[in-house]
Each structure stands twice: as C-alpha cells, then as structure tokens.
Amino acid sequence: MRCEVCGREINGNPYYRVIEGGRLTVCGQCSQFSTQAWDPARPQARKSPTRRRSAQPSPRRRSDIDAAESLELVEGYGMLIKKARQRRSLSVEDFSKKIREKESVVKKLEKENMNPPMNLVRKIQNALGISILEEAAKSSGSVLSRPMGPRTLGDMIKIKDATKKE
C-alpha cells in the first residue's frame, strides 16, 4: 500500500487522516500534517444539502384549495386582458416585463389558448386592476368549466356524446 500524499510504500499499519478536507491513507511521516483521524470501517452519514427556507414551497392551506376550486375564468377573459392592457397604453412587451412573464404567455392569454395558473391570474389582476375570475356555478360535480393550470390532453379533445348517432 502506498501513501496518498508522498507516494512512499507504507510499512506497518497505515494512518487514516483528514488532510485539507480529504480522507487519505498516509504513512507515519505524512500523518503529522493532520490532527484529525477517520475510521474506514465506519460509514459516514451523508450530510443533506442545506435548503434555503424560501426555496421550499409553502404548504397549501385547505381554504386556498377550496377557494381556487370555487372560481373559474370569466367568458372572454382574453379580450378583457387585451383591452385593459391597451387602456393603460402598454404593449405586449411592456406588459410581459411588468408581470415578469414571456411575451408568448401574454399572447396566448389574450387569444385564450392558455388556462393560466392561479399565481399568474393574480399577477394579471394586480397589474391591470381587473378581475378575470368569477364564482363557479354550483353543479352536481366539482369539475370546473375552465380548469386553472396548464392545459392537458383532456382539455384539447372533445368527447363524442354517446347518445348521438353518426
């Protein structure tokens, strides 16, 4: 076995030392460069990476979820956004910078090609001073007519009515 510091052949028992943060197997002469030893037979517990508090999403309260489920986008929300933006003399580029989103997102919203998530709805409402949400009509099911969040495959297909004959 060779010393990992000087490269000499280790005669006798090797020393297991921590030198400048590295765990090394060294000879007797090189062991003087460290005062800390480590045991190769004992596995070291891995340290979990430290997380910043702001990086963790805040847990959602049940009332937030209930509130989101009781709201839906108003009919023609895209035109409302566009008119409010134009009343404030904001271009698509200026408005997208103001709400810190991409221009393509604003364009998709104005064409109603996107179902915005709740945080984006709040940004739009605060920036333009409009409301694009309304209370959902009470129905037997809890399915929203316009779900919040990204569009899914189910949003894009139309299911044929089983009672209609072709």
In this predicted structure, the answer to whether residue 143 has a pLDDT above a threshold of 80 is no
119 has a pLDDT exceeding 70: yes
Mean pLDDT within 136-158 = 61
Domain residue extents for the chain: 1-40, 63-137
Residue 73 in contact with residue 133, Cβ under 8 Å?
A: yes
Residue 27 scores a pLDDT above 60: yes
> Domain 63-137, what fold?
434 Repressor (Amino-terminal Domain) (1.10.260)
Q: Check residue 39 and give its pLDDT.
A: 83
121, 132 Cβ separation under 8 angstroms: yes
Q: Model confidence at 36, in pLDDT bands (50, 70, 90)?
A: confident
Q: What is the pLDDT of residue 1?
A: 84
At 70-115, the pLDDT tens digits run 778 888 888 888 999 899 998 989 999 999 989 998 899 889 888 8
- How far is 150 from 113, CA to CA, in rounded Å? 10
The strand ranges marked E within the chain are: 15-19, 22-26, 71-73, 133-135
Q: Are 99 and 121 in contact (CB under 8 A)?
A: no
